[in-house]
Structure 1
Amino acid sequence: MAEVQAYQGDYQGEEAVCLKAGPYEAVLLPGVGGNLIAFRDTKRNYRFLREPREDEMDTFRQGPGTYGIPVLFPPNRYEDGKFPWNGKTYQFPINEPATGNHLHGFLHTIPWEVEQLGQTERESFATVKVTITREHPVYEVFPFEFTVKLRYTLGPDGLSQLVTVKNEGAEPLPCLIAFHTAINAPFVQGGEAKDYLAQITIGQRWELNERMLPTGKLQPLSPEEEKLKQGGVNPFFGPMDNHYTAAPQDGRNRMELTDTKHGVTLVYDVGTSYKMWMVWNNGATEGFFCPEPQMNLVNAPKVNLPAEEIGLISLAPGEIWEESARLYTKE
């Protein structure tokens, strides 16, 4: 196999962890939420993730949620910023004035630390982590003690991700997590968005109110969404900011994006712990879209449905939750 490397470097002025393995390379930014900002096939000139241009770096640092693979914890919207949990109600900041909600949690904008960096003959890997203690600024608004780790491995079969959450405190921890993964369409350099078909293992669409919060009701899929579920549809067929149940197919929960002209498919296999998908395409603007695997229903603590059904997961003191995902291509 060609060169395998794991090293610390620079990404447009930001300290970076760089991984190489054969034709693949990946870049991780510990200082900006542990965001895996780049995954590329240098041999075929594919760029799979939306990366900020050099003149967009300040914009990216202020709002990294639509680049790379940001981790959302707890994910998505919480009505009026209120988060009822275990007999108490916590108040999160209202950071989405248009809806009056809290959006996307506390981990994707703060510094993480590099725990491990290395390589074998065939793979390169890196682990980054963030630990919230009583002294950490996040504890003031989310008063739980926990550690989140992300391990990325790059090898012949593409990029794998292992996410681990450990409850380090004495109280039950809400383990609610998602990834706001920004996938390029086209990912082939010189390709055209019109040649792309997306397929996602969605089930039904949740009805959302004017504040983008679920009503608890499910809606039938449109004809285009039925194609998104089975067969494939252009990811920019219309504006999408939609929330769906996940419905694994063949035991797998995944998004597939095919460049029909070049005959290559990007597979994003996310694991079955994610009970929901968010799909956002920036108002049907060609260039990128976000198939977002999410453990829990939006605003889950305030929705009167069974916890298991809506992914309202609790970790007891000392407990660990983990899940794996993978990005790879097939032809």
Structure 2
Amino acid sequence: MTDKAIGRAFEQPFHDEAAVWLQWANFEAAVLPNIGANLIAFRDTLNSISFLREPAADQMDDFRARPIVHGIPLLFPPNRYEDGKFPWNGTTYNFPITEEARNNHLHGFFHNAKFDVLDYGTTKTESFVVLSISVHKDHPIYTYLPHTFTIQLRYSLSEQGLFQHVQVRNEGNDALPCLIAFHTTLNAPFDSASSSDDYRFQMTIGNRWEMSERMLPSGKFQPLLKEEELMKSEGISPFWAPMDNHYTAVPQNGRNQMVLTDTRTGISLVYDVGTAYKQWMIYNNNATPGFFCPEPQTNLVNAPNVDIDADTAGVVSLEPGGIWEETGRLYVKYGK
């Protein structure tokens, strides 16, 4: 079988939005360069499975207005910052208040930004796309993050599933706050013939952070409920209770991951992320069946404002000329 028969990379709209598509064997994926390089689709076409929550054609305007709970949006810096304040190296950056009810800034500046497509194509082992965004003095994001840097994303499809490589390069003369997450939004059920009751997930969580009414951490931990202990072992429904929960990440057997299993079919989706992601967020839309978000995150929510050491909080100070990078993978285990 030739490369072209099992792998393709091409430009074609996703509904009415510009997209680059990847195909390899029974897998396909699509990424949206103009909306934060959001990996909006990851599918097993042979088994009619859609692993990620995708907007329908008539939902695209709503999606563009709030592109957080579909696909895999990039968050930089991720999650909430109290009163929009971000103290850094003796000064304080003022971020816009985007969560007015709690007076927080939420989710950073890249989930709806335009990325450049640097390259796409196929090799003997994969189809791939490379996307990039560079912030400099003339870029609108520089107003809030006055640093010169580039974020590059590379997605590839192969027989092993979907692979993600993210890289941040500090091209300026001062230290860059490097805080990053992905608001990964998974369908549950991902097989339309199953129901949400068929699904269980496991996750490499450690401690649960105590959160205020503003969803900001106190710096203290809460005892885990017995159901949360099940998340670390045999698994539990993604909708066992409303979750907008924040946990430390504690790798098990050297791996930092979430596993979502359809007990009807025996198919499991493994979300294996790097150990640089020291925190997990879990959001399930008030326990509403349909989707939930296991979000790998490098840093504690509101980290620069919490009285805790930088390493525990996951605050990375990327030196001039420095490169930070990490990988993740979504792959499928077929049971029964």
TM range (shorter): over 0.9
Q: Is the contact between residue 117 and residue 126 of structure 1 (CA under 8 Å) also seen in structure 2?
A: yes
Query: 1:309 offset after TM fit, Å?
Result: 1.0
- Aligned partner of 1:31 in structure 2 is 34
Question: 2:193 corresponds to which letter in structure 1?
Answer: G
Alignment map for 1:1-331 (pairs within 5 Å): 2-331=5-334
- Letter paired with 1:194: D
SS for the counterpart of 1:15 is coil
Residues in 2 aligned to 1:150 and 1:210: alpha-carbon distance in whole angstroms: 34
Alpha-carbon distance between aligned partners in 2 of 1:210 and 1:189, rounded to the nearest angstrom: 36
Q: Deviations over 1:48-75 (max 9, x none)?
A: 0000011110011011011000000000
Query: What stretches of structure 1 of length at least 5 have no aligned partner?
Result: none
In the alignment of these two chains, the number of paired residues is 331
* Structure 1 residue runs of 4 or more that deviate by more than 6 Å after TM superposition: none
Matching residue's letter, 2:257: R
Alpha-carbon distance in 2 for matches of 1:230, 1:314: 34
**What is the SS of the residue equivalent to 2:147?**
coil
The AA in structure 2 aligned to 1:215 is S
**In the alignment, residue 256 of structure 1 is paired with which amino acid?**
V
Distance in 1 (CA, whole Å) between partners of 2:154 and 2:198 is 33
Task: Give, in whole Å, the separation in 2 of the partners of 1:126 and 1:58.
Answer: 25
**In 2, are the aligned partners of 1:106 and 1:138 still within 8 Å (CA)?**
yes
TM-score normalised by structure 2 residue count: 0.98
Deviation at 1:189, TM superposition (A): 2.1
CA distance in 2, matches of 1:77, 1:209: 12
Contact 1:21 1:122 in 2 (8 A): no
Q: Deviations over 1:161-208 (max 9, x none)?
A: 000000011110000000000011001122110000010100010000
Report if aligned partners of 1:52, 1:67 keep a CA contact under 8 Å in 2.
yes
Deviation for aligned residue 1:122:
2.9
Paired-residue identity, %: 57
Is the CA contact 1:198–1:255 (under 8 Å) kept in the aligned structure 2? yes
Gap runs ≥5 in structure 2 = none
* More divergent stretch after superposition (321-330 vs 117-126): 117-126
Following TM superposition, by how much is the alpha carbon of 1:299 offset from its aligned partner in structure 2, in angstroms? Answer: 0.4
CA positional deviation for 1:121: 2.5
One-letter amino acid matched to 2:112: T
Partners of 1:113 and 1:90 lie apart in 2 by 26
Alpha-carbon distance in structure 2 between the residues aligned to 1:26 and 1:139: 31
SS in structure 2 of the partner of residue 56 of structure 1? helix
Q: Kindly provide the amino acid, as one letter, of the partner of residue 25 in structure 1.
A: E
Return the alpha-carbon distance in structure 1 between the equivalents of residues 6 and 160 of structure 2: 15
Q: Deviations over 1:253-286 (max 9, x none)?
A: 0000000010111000011000000000000010
Give the residue type in structure 2 aligned to 1:88: T
Kindly provide the amino acid, as one letter, of the partner of residue 277 in structure 1: W
- Residue 114 of structure 2 aligns to a residue whose secondary structure is coil
Q: Is the Cα–Cα contact under 8 Å of residues 34 and 70 in structure 1 kept in the other structure? A: yes
| Mapped partners of 1:120, 1:95: distance in 2 | 42
SS of aligned partner of 2:13: strand
Residue 141 of structure 1: how far off its partner (Å)? 1.4
TM-score normalised by L of structure 1: 0.99
TM-superposed CA distance for 1:3, in Å, is 2.3
The 1-side partners of 2:311 and 2:234 are apart by 29
The offset of 1:210, in angstroms, is 0.7
